[in-house]
């Protein structure tokens, strides 16, 4: 038996959603993971998925139920791309069977549900990670270095994020992501997750003091959100030492996001500091798979007569040898292996990030339900 094979984390995919194809492909590109099993609601669906994704002649086990795959002792970890309303049931079941959990976003319908999942993972000593892929792209690390540099970036003033795509009319009424019994958070869950997550990332995961949804949310006939916007407020600039001049006593950070199933594709993240600003246009899914870029404008001033800028945006290109979702699986598998082989405790960073994102998402939903009132966290 090959020692390297022995070390690979054996992953089971629970549910054959469209996005499962994406993960299925990259598990093969990930050196420390291997696809062990695929489970669907019926064996026919699992077989169809296997055939469609070139798994037929591999040794991948196929199951006609979610129960069988989460109980399979040869499976180390599960990837759950199920509708959000099924997450608690199957993530908890997997954790109880000592499976590490890679859970698609949005992770839960609310923080109460997420806490059930996190408690099950914690008490069973298994790793939890949500499926936010862009956090694992090397571009994200490169931008983090920039905004952590007080000289280059300064304190954080404003964040703008958009997460939109233009879904066809039939999607808006009948897709899983807009069905009240399957994904009742609609665009706020599916797309707002990225925006909220990117804003929290920008502020170093300091929770806002308050959150306010902006009026005029758009819903479909079942009342599921198709488009909404919200703002997040901090009463000081997070993570940065305050300068000493008088006006700075009240330096504050504001963030605004817009998410919509009814607008042209956009994945903007704009972060304005006191000394520089960052612009990204393809945060959640880069334009191209193996490279991505961002623009940083450092210390720009007006030139004399205010007829131009002293500095222009500088583009930084970042190559990614394997796709961001493979890097996510690699990181997840690496943590799982450390738990299995070294007896290390699960990494708490990932569930903490998910929980903060969910807390803010809940607050936005509550603000909408309260008629766009501010909600304090």
CA 305 to chain CA mean position, Å: 45
CA distance 70 to 63: 10
Render 40-79 in DSSP notation, one character per residue. Answer: -SSHHHHHHHHHHTT-TTS--EEESSHHHHHH-TT--EEE
b/e code 114-129 from CB counts within 10 Å (16+ = b): bbbbbebbbebebbbb
Residue 190 CB, shortest distance to a second copy, in Å, is: 12
Shorter beta-carbon distance to a second copy: residue 125 or 138: 138
CA distance 335 to 289: 24
Q: Which of 41, 312, 315, 349 binds a second copy (CB under 8 A)?
A: 312
Shorter beta-carbon distance to a second copy: residue 93 or 214: 214
Shorter beta-carbon distance to a second copy: residue 67 or 279: 279
Q: Which of 98, 179, 279, 366 binds a second copy (CB under 8 A)?
A: 279
Residues 89-118, interacting with a second copy (CB under 8 A): none
Kindly state whether residue 157 participates in binding a second copy, applying the rule CB under 8 A: yes
Kindly report the number of other CB atoms within 10 A of residue 9's CB atom: 25
Kindly state whether residue 54 participates in binding a second copy, applying the rule CB under 8 A: no
Q: Which of 110, 173, 206, 338 binds a second copy (CB under 8 A)?
A: 173
Which of these, 91, 116, 129, 106, lies nearest to 224 by C-alpha position? 106
CA distance 202 to 360: 14
CA distance 238 to 203: 6
Residue 214 CB, shortest distance to a second copy, in Å, is: 5
Q: Interacting stretch for a second copy, rule CB under 8 A, among 71-79, 197-205, 277-285, 357-365?
A: 277-285
Residue 115 CB, shortest distance to a second copy, in Å, is: 29
Residues 132-151, interacting with a second copy (CB under 8 A): none
Site string for a second copy, 2-41 (x = CB under 8 A): ----------------xx-xx--x----------------
Size of residue set near a second copy by CB under 8 A: 80
Shorter beta-carbon distance to a second copy: residue 118 or 135: 135
Q: Which of 146, 182, 207, 263 binds a second copy (CB under 8 A)?
A: 263
Residues 318-357, interacting with a second copy (CB under 8 A): 323, 325
Kindly report the number of other CB atoms within 10 A of residue 175's CB atom: 18
Kindly state whether residue 198 participates in binding a second copy, applying the rule CB under 8 A: no
Q: Interacting stretch for a second copy, rule CB under 8 A, among 80-88, 107-115, 143-151, 243-251?
A: 243-251
Render 74-134 in DSSP notation, one character per residue. Answer: T--EEEE---GGGHHHHHHHHHHTT-EEEEPSS--SSHHHHHHHHHHHHHTT--EEE---G
CA 121 to chain CA mean position, Å: 19
Shorter beta-carbon distance to a second copy: residue 71 or 295: 295
Residue 342 CB, shortest distance to a second copy, in Å, is: 33
Residue 367 CB, shortest distance to a second copy, in Å, is: 12
Q: Which of 270, 334, 338, 340 binds a second copy (CB under 8 A)?
A: 270
CA distance 157 to 275: 10
Kindly state whether residue 219 participates in binding a second copy, applying the rule CB under 8 A: yes
Judge residue 93's burial from the number of C-beta atoms within 10 Å of its C-beta, 0-12 exposed, 13-18 middle, 19 or more buried: middle
CA distance 10 to 68: 15
Kindly state whether residue 212 participates in binding a second copy, applying the rule CB under 8 A: yes
Kindly state whether residue 293 participates in binding a second copy, applying the rule CB under 8 A: no
Shorter beta-carbon distance to a second copy: residue 111 or 229: 229
Q: Interacting stretch for a second copy, rule CB under 8 A, among 32-40, 118-126, 241-249, 330-338?
A: 241-249
CA 184 to chain CA mean position, Å: 18
Contact of 132 with 214, CB cutoff 8 Å: no
Kindly state whether residue 48 participates in binding a second copy, applying the rule CB under 8 A: no
CA distance 229 to 78: 33
Shorter beta-carbon distance to a second copy: residue 51 or 299: 299
């Amino acid at each position: 038996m090959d020692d390297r094979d022995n070390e690979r984390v054996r992953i089971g995919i629970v549910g054959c959603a469209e996005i499962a194809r994406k993960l299925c492909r990259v598990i093969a590109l990930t050196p420390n993971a291997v696809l062990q099993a695929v489970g669907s609601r019926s064996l026919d669906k699992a077989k169809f998925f296997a055939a469609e994704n070139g798994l037929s002649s591999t040794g991948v086990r196929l199951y006609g139920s979610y129960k069988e795959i989460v109980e399979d002792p040869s499976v180390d970890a599960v990837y759950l791309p199920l509708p959000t309303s099924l997450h608690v049931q199957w993530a908890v079941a997997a954790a109880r069977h000592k499976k590490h959990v890679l859970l698609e976003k949005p992770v839960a319908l609310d923080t109460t549900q997420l806490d059930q999942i996190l408690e099950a993972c914690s008490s069973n000593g298994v790793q939890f990670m949500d499926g936010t892929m862009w956090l694992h792209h090397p571009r994200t690390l490169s931008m983090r270095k920039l905004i952590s540099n007080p000289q280059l970036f300064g304190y954080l003033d404003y964040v703008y994020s958009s997460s939109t795509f233009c879904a066809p009319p039939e999607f808006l009424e009948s897709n899983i992501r807009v069905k009240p019994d399957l994904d009742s958070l609609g665009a706020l869950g599916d797309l707002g997750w990225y925006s909220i997550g990117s804003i929290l990332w920008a502020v170093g995961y300091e929770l806002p003091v308050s959150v306010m949804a902006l009026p005029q949310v758009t819903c479909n006939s079942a009342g599921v959100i198709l488009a909404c916007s919200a703002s997040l407020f901090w009463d000081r600039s997070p993570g940065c030492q305050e300068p000493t001049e008088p006006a700075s006593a009240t330096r504050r950070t504001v963030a605004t996001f817009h998410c919509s199933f009814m607008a042209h594709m956009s994945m903007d993240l704009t972060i304005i500091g006191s000394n520089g600003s960052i612009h990204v246009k393809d945060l959640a899914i880069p334009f191209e798979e193996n490279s991505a870029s961002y623009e940083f404008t450092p210390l720009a001033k007006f030139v004399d007569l205010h007829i131009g800028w002293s500095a222009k945006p500088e583009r930084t290109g970042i190559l990614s040898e394997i796709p961001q979702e493979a890097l996510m699986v690699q990181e997840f598998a690496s943590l799982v292996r450390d738990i299995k082989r070294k007896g290390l405790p699960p990494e708490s960073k990932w569930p903490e990030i998910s929980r903060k994102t969910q807390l803010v998402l809940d607050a936005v939903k509550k603000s909408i339900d309260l008629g766009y009132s501010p909600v304090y966290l």
